[in-house]
Chains A and B, each alone.
Chain A
Amino acid sequence: MIDVQFVIFIGYFLLVFLIGWLSMKWTQSEEDYWIAGSKLGWGVGGATMAATHTSAGTFIGTIGVIYSVGWSFGWVLISIPLAYWFMVAVLAPRFTNVKELTLPAFLQRRYQSRTARGIGGIIILIATVVYIQAQIVAGGLVANVVFGLNPMTGMVIFTVILLIYTLVGGMLAVVYTDFLQMIIMVVGTIVSVPLALLHVDGLSGLLEKVAIIKPLALEWGGLPTVLLITMSLAFFLGSVATPEKVIRLYAMKDMKTIRRGILLAVIVVTGINLLVFILALASMVLFPNLPTGDLAMPMIAKAVLPTFVGTIMLAAITSAMMSTVDSLLLVAGSALSEDIYHNLFHKEASRSRRLLIARIGILIVGIVPLLSIISGFAEGELIQFIVILFTAIMAAGFFTPVVGGILWKRATKQGAIASMIGGVLTTGLWKAFGDPLIYPVLPGFLVSIAGYVLFSLFTQAPPESAWKPYFDKKSTPE
């Protein structure tokens, strides 16, 4: 007898590969490969923004954390729509005055420093490895629950599939598969919630049962307040200035498109987060003894939902992971090729050589997390906490030089470099040795601001050519 779940999964992946192959045919230039030709409309642009944001961190990680600590984690999610507002209102208008292929390229132009660009590339590589690791772990869990595969085998298969279609298609493959994945995520989540609620006598029945079986889950003190606030800060800062989101501003054709696209992303992301919140509570009632909260969503998809809906939901979860990872792989590839290799070592490198280096970078960044997992790094840690660590590294490294670069004319390259290095180092050291009640993003962010301001003020002011393109209102496209 044919396994229906297997057929649905294979069908989905075949569709994704088809999109990757078509995108390869449509990719004519470097601009097409890195930023989809900079001509995306609001529909696909907003969808790709939402899909990139909504990863395993949402479907598995958020549900996993709420399952483990209760609904107090919901406070952290409020920062997400705030971040999107900040992106549209503050960042995008000036940031997109000059289109670049990568975020570190912006750092080079704004601060007139190849070193700043190179450091940005290195930070991206390090943080990307951490984040992809979380997604691969989630891929292994899904494979374990759905197909009964050993989690490690599932992780390997997941990594291989991902590398194939990212290597082939570039950004065009990424944005069009993002659109497909967003549709699946939205429909899957909307259908899943009422089906799950049917088993627990509706929303009021659910809350009653949660209060009985896990009374602390409905207490707002599930996580210490300081930790909640600092985690929220990590989400906010990371949502604003992480490269894989910011680069999508370049992919959309003008400010009007950006506003509409981000509005769509806010609606989708907020809606999905509210719905997964309910699914998390339902999983507490239906499966109170899971070995890890990260299994909550795969179990709901496998044992609560009808076959097609459950499988599509798992496809949506897999989609969410893949859309995030492929975006990050692309960013990492461009970081290695453009920001490190071409920028620092081989300025005369041809386009084909740079593309080859990028693809090698994608391979390396895709495989290193897998090897890291096999060696036992972050074993037993909830997926969402690995995701937040990535967000913290990116936030501490990029928020200040990116946002500061378009708000403060006096900012210098020394300030930007000090900000990035200080922010990331402090975040890493705090994670390893600091107070666990204060999330590392806070000290990292404070050090990055301090370094940015102090080093800028005590070094020579930048030339007008560095900041003028971003502050000249006449060149702002609409």
Chain B
Amino acid sequence: MKKFALVFVFFAVVQVIAQGELRGVSAEVDMSGIAIQVEQTLHLNLPDSVQSIEVKAFEFPGTALSLISANSAGEILLLEELEKEGMKYVKLSTQTGRLSDILFTYEARIAEDQFNLPFFVTDFSAASSDNDFFKLNIRMKKSQAYSLRFPKVDMQEITGESYKEIQLEVPALPSFLGMELYTGEKEAVEISTIVDWLVALIFVGIGFLIWFNRNLLSYG
């Protein structure tokens, strides 16, 4: 019975999915205040018949989400929250018109310096994997030291008078942003750098082993 229900839900969702796609996503994250403010824009291609969609985000320990608003083409959308274990579901509905690009605003209060900030994802497939499919802009105090754990891509840092902005682009929408904020100086060496060097040394070591045993390996 459970399997039947799941399969039914799967096909029902697939029907909606088949009717829409995600053209791109952008997010403005402001970490300069006490709580993190997020404005996430979902650029959608949806048929006129679709008047509500569901978005969802992981719930992480130490990160409390509060929804503020959602609007599409100037219309404020109805928000209906549903929490199941580990995930926050939000149903966004239009009363008057059709849904197009949706601007979704929410707040996250974090308990620790190392945290995961969830992004809201949909069940729609992405329309492309262009490098700028997901654009993220993070604003924080100029003196704030940080480390970006996920997504680990090249980023640009623009420093202003009292604030700085971190900009990055990812070919796909990540389900969360993994960061660590430091109260003092940032760690001199990150774990990722250590891993990189370790792996490089392993390859060098293997290379020497192969060279000194080349005849045995090649001819038995």
Contacts and interface: CB of A to CB of B under 8 A. Distances in A.
Interface of A: 39-45, 141, 144-145, 148, 179, 183-184, 187, 191, 195, 199, 208-209, 212-213, 215-216, 219, 221, 253, 257, 260, 285-292, 295, 299, 302-310, 312
B125 A309 contact: no
Interface stretch (B46-54, B69-77, B84-92): B84-92
Is the interface on chain B under 10, 10 to 19, 20 to 34, or 35 or more residues?
35 or more
Interface of B: 3, 6-7, 10, 22, 56, 58, 84-87, 121-122, 124-129, 131, 149-153, 170-175, 178, 192-193, 195-197, 199-200, 202-203, 206, 210, 216-220
Contact of B127 (A212, A291, A299): A291
Contacts of A44: 217-218
A45 B217 CA distance: 9
15 contacts: A41-B216, A44-B218, A183-B206, A184-B203, A187-B203, A212-B87, A215-B6, A219-B6, A287-B173, A289-B121, A289-B122, A305-B152, A306-B152, A307-B196, A312-B199
Contacts of A219: 3, 6
A288 B121 contact: yes
B219 A306 contact: no
Contact of A303 (B10, B58, B87, B174): B174
A144 B129 contact: yes
B175 A286 contact: yes
A199 B216 contact: no
A215 B85 CA distance: 13
A367 B173 CA distance: 35
Contacts of A216: 6-7, 10
A292 B171 CA distance: 12
Contacts of A253: 219-220
A303 B192 contact: no
B175 A288 contact: yes
Given A145-B171, A289-B122, A199 B217 contact: no
Contact of B178 (A40, A144, A199): A199
B206 A221 contact: no
Nearest to B57: A213
User: Among the interface residues B84, B172, B195, which one has the most CB atoms of the partner chain A within 10 A?
Assistant: B172
A187 B87 CA distance: 35
A208 B86 contact: yes
A41 B124 contact: no
A26 to B, nearest CB: 11
A39 B87 contact: no
A265 B87 CA distance: 42
Contact of B58 (A187, A209, A304): A209
Contacts of B196: 306-309
User: Among the interface residues B3, B197, B218, which one has the most CB atoms of the partner chain A within 10 A?
Assistant: B218
A358 B170 CA distance: 43
B173 A295 contact: no
A291 B206 contact: no
A175 to B, nearest CB: 9
